[in-house]
Structure 1
């Protein structure tokens, strides 16, 4: 492998890790298409298939998540108890998704998933006018940010587990981390503060990526060469994204997340219809 591929793979990890940590999506949506593009361009990476790209991406996402969690923990932004509850659903879902990855025809699903993300994007445009859905037997949390402002949010455990199960399946199936759906769920359905939602999402992504990655490893769906070269960039990016998000207001962080969600949605639709 020549220096060009090495630089590109490191850069992909750095960009994906920074963006993934910044908005809580993990970064897999950057890594998977990048690996498939490089596989078509460089002979040294030509053995990377969609399954290998998804498995490698999920393993890299785990590295990004560990890196960002270290920073988010110091910033006291992770709701660990809520995150563990979300993982009760996302963990089994990620195992199921990784198991299906060898047999699933993804084109039509990617288009449908992209359209669903566009729907979430449209909801988030009017988020201030939407009230979080209230259930009976909710759990209440309070978060105080660095400026001293308090946020009160609620969530319904059975609903959280059910939705997280579906998110776990999709995240492992496509190697995208799941945050593109997890963060909107926290924001729209349960009213999480953006700073808590993005940080807690990375915690859940880390846990679910472990279970999904183990299955991908057992199925030999990892390009270890690509992983070794991408992982250092993703580690640095994870720390950088967490640092940058701390410097941003909740409103500006929401703007970045909405833009990212829109781009991810369009990308998945174009990929599913083979227009890219």
Structure 2
């Protein structure tokens, strides 16, 4: 029987291989990830993340899960919202990205941040236990997006909100050629900054293969989220999607927890 396949950028690969391939990409770019985000978004990703924090509606004392939290810049913004009595959980599948984020957050005084290495498709989080979830520039790298969205919905408390920030599809046909040219520069910039442009070629391709705004909104509804919507940013070059857990939901058994212990790294 033939094994199922999926896309890794423009390449078709075995489904079981994609997570490892994506992991290799982010291990290569971890140290320069935020620099490249600044260059690829012309610095606007920082503003976008502040918008995402507003939309998740986190309050003091609450618990928020930051999936694909990586280098921790969104986690730090969430910590400002939940305060010393709240908790932010930075979760990422890539240990190298978590290491960079952990070191940065500890330097910023956020020692009470919880760091978890886990797959977004199999969240080791008690169902119905978090007051909000954010995921910035990570969903397009997930192998099984419907499974990840369903896992996020299950982790939310009833009525709590999921906010997904992701590169998306430019809505203006007139602007599409210019944006495509700008994207074509990313691998060249990546080679200049890091010495290797191949990870950034994958990032360009992963954006192109990512579902458009309406398709992703439908996927969120199919995952059981309600009040789903999205806001286009930069003419659709990025979009913020949001949805809420229904007020009544099933509670499947939780998975085992895998924490990253800062003292052991």
When you count strand as a share of all residues, which structure comes out higher? 2
When you count helix as a share of all residues, which structure comes out higher? 1
More RCO (CA 8 Å, sep 6+): 1
TM-score between the two structures when normalised by the length of structure 2? 0.30
TM-score between the two structures when normalised by the length of structure 1? 0.29
